[in-house]
Amino acid sequence: MLTERQLFLLQLLVNDYIVSAEPVGSRSISKRDDVHYSPATIRNELADLEEMGYLEKTHLSSGRVPSEKGYRFYVDHLLSPAMLSDLEMKNIRDAYRRKFSETEELIHVTAELLSEFTNYTAIMLGPELLEMKLKHIQFVRLSGNKGVMIIVTDSGHVENRVVTFPSEIKAEDIEKIVNILNEKLNMVPLYQLQKRLNEEFRDVLRRNVSNYEHAMTLLRDSLEINDPEQIFYSGKSKILSQPEFQDIDKVISLLNVFEGKDLIRELMNMPPGGMHIRIGKENKLNGIEDCSLITTTYSVGSELLGTVAVIGPKRMAYPRVITLIDVLSNLLTKSLSDRKENNK
C-alpha cells in the first residue's frame, strides 16, 4: 500500500515527466514550492516506489521515469481531468456551428480538432457498414439495361450499385423482386443479406419470377456489400515530433501500423462503452509498444457505434487528452443526432 506522500510524489513525478520528457531527479522535485522534503528523503521514497515497480531508471544513476505500472496507477488513481480554457471551449463550439453537408465532414472536423488540441494523432473509426440494418431497397432503372440498386440503412447511410441486368430479365421483374425483398428483409443486418437471400428467397423468387437464375445472380451481385473500412486520421505527423520518436525505425513501424487497416481495427477493438486507455504493451500489437491509446465511442443513430481515438507516446498528457476526447466525442454524437432529427 502506498503512503500519502508516495502517492503525492508519484503524481508529481509523472506530471513532471509528461511535460519534460526527461528523467526526473530528487533534487528537481525537492526544489518545487509545494514540496518541503530534502532530496535525500525524496530519494528514499523514490527508491521504494521503484522497488514496488512504479518507477524505473534509464541507467544506474539517472533520474526516474514512470514504468507502465506507474502510468497505469497514475491513470487509475491519481489523475484529475484537465480543464479547458474558456477560449478553447469557445473555439471548439464555434467549429461545430458550421453547416456540414456530409456526415463525413463532421467526423473529419472532429478528428482535426482532436489532433490540433492534443498535439497527438487522432483516429476515427466509422461504424461497420455491415452491422447496419436494411431499411429500404430501391431499384432505379437508368438508360438501356442499366440500373442503380439503392440500399438505405437504418442509420441513414445510402449505398448504391450500378448494375447491368441481362436482357433476359425485364426491369419490371426486378422492381417486383425488390418489392418482395423490401417487405421481408426490413431491419435485417447487411451482413446477413446474402444468407437470407439464399435460404429464404430461392423458392419465393422461383415462383414469382421468370428467369429466376438470372435474377438470383443479379441480386447476389448487387447485395454484395464489402465494407469500406472507414478510417480517418488527422495529425499523423504530430506524434512523430515527440522526442520518443527520434528513431527512424520506430517511425516506420508506426506508419506501417497506420497503413494496415486490419491492424488498426484490431488495435481499436475495445469492449463496448466508456473510455478505454491502453498503455504501452497493453496494446498487443507490434510497433506501438511505446504508445498509449485512448479510445471512446460516438454513436450514430440509436445503437451504431464509431470509435474516436488518440494515439500518443506513453508519456502522454492524459488529463488533457481525456477531457478533450470526452468533450469532442459528446459534441460529435450530439451533432450527429441533431442531424438525424432535422432529417425526419
Cβ atoms of residues 149 and 160 within 8 Å: yes
How many residues are given for the chain?
344
**What single-letter amino acid sits at 65?**
V
The residues binding DNA (CB under 7 A) are 23-28, 36-41, 43-44, 46-47, 50, 57-64
Q: Which is nearer to a second copy, 50 or 227 (CB)?
A: 227
To the nearest whole angstrom, how small is the minimum distance from the Cβ of residue 190 to DNA? 54
Residue 44: which of DNA, a second copy, none does it interact with, CB under 5 to 8 A by kind? DNA
To the nearest whole angstrom, how small is the minimum distance from the Cβ of residue 296 to a second copy? 24
Question: In whole angstroms, what is the distance from residue 157 CA to residue 219 CA?
Answer: 20
Q: Which is nearer to DNA, 52 or 204 (CB)?
A: 52
The contacts of residue 123 (CB under 8 Å, 6+ apart) are 111, 231, 232, 233, 264, 268, 307, 308, 309, 310, 311
Residue 255: which of DNA, a second copy, none does it interact with, CB under 5 to 8 A by kind? a second copy
Question: In whole angstroms, what is the distance from residue 80 CA to residue 195 CA?
Answer: 50
Give the Å distances, CA to CA, from 110 to 186, 301, 341. Answer: 32, 18, 20
**What single-letter amino acid sits at 217?**
T
Residue 60: which of a second copy, DNA, none does it interact with, CB under 5 to 8 A by kind? DNA
The residues binding a second copy (CB under 8 A) are 101-102, 104, 135-136, 138, 140, 142-144, 146, 148, 150, 152, 156, 158, 160, 162, 164, 221, 224, 226, 228, 234-237, 240-241, 245-246, 248, 251-252, 255-256, 259, 342-344
Residue 308: which of DNA, a second copy, none does it interact with, CB under 5 to 8 A by kind? none
Q: What share of the chain is helix, strand, coil (3-state, %, to 5)?
A: 50, 20, 30
Residue 256: which of a second copy, DNA, none does it interact with, CB under 5 to 8 A by kind? a second copy
To the nearest whole angstrom, how small is the minimum distance from the Cβ of residue 40 to a second copy? 39
- What are residue 143's phi and psi, to 5 degrees? -75, 160
Q: Which is nearer to a second copy, 99 or 207 (CB)?
A: 99
Nine-digit cell string for 85: 480554457
Residue 25: which of a second copy, DNA, none does it interact with, CB under 5 to 8 A by kind? DNA
